[in-house]
Structure 1
Amino acid sequence: MAMMAVGQPPPIEVGPTISMKAIDKPTHASTIKPAHPSCKPVPLKQISYLHGEPRVIWEEEKVNQMIINEDLQYAFIGKFSYGWPEIQELRRLIPK
């Protein structure tokens, strides 16, 4: 091990270099992302409050556009005000 002079910073260690092949390799995200977006992005909405509860109001046309843009035709959103139900209960209730 080499001796360093007092007050000198430690020598910089050079790590392995990245080859260009590693950079050019496509990721999983890039393979499933569409090359050209078919629709314009929907802008974020302002949050309003009703009785202290935050809410966002969307027009039906914008909701339908988001469903198409994000491929959400099978998405499910649940609100659990009093804690999470058991997964077996969710599996039973969601198809209904």
Structure 2
Amino acid sequence: MAVDPTRVLVTNLAAFSPAQTIELVGRAGVAKGNTRPDKVFLSGVSAGCLLSFAGAAVLSCNASPWYAENAPGLLRLIEAIIFPIGFVMVT
């Protein structure tokens, strides 16, 4: 029998039970809680810089007066697409 590469079997997906998920999240919290303070501070500064970059990108997109008058819905859609990029860059 030939294997179809476009088909995904549910048994092949890596899934955790709720108890396993709670354990993994708890371990991640303990590891983050034991992080050195200087590393936490630098991570926070880096995250702030990335989010401010995304905010600046949204503001520069919002600065176009033609879109503000003629297509405000499109302008809001573009902003809604651009700003989450900052959150993606943080993770």
Return the TM-score normalized by structure 2. 0.24
Return the TM-score normalized by structure 1. 0.23
Which of structures 1 and 2 has the larger relative contact order (alpha carbons within 8 angstroms, sep 6+)? 2
Higher strand share: 1
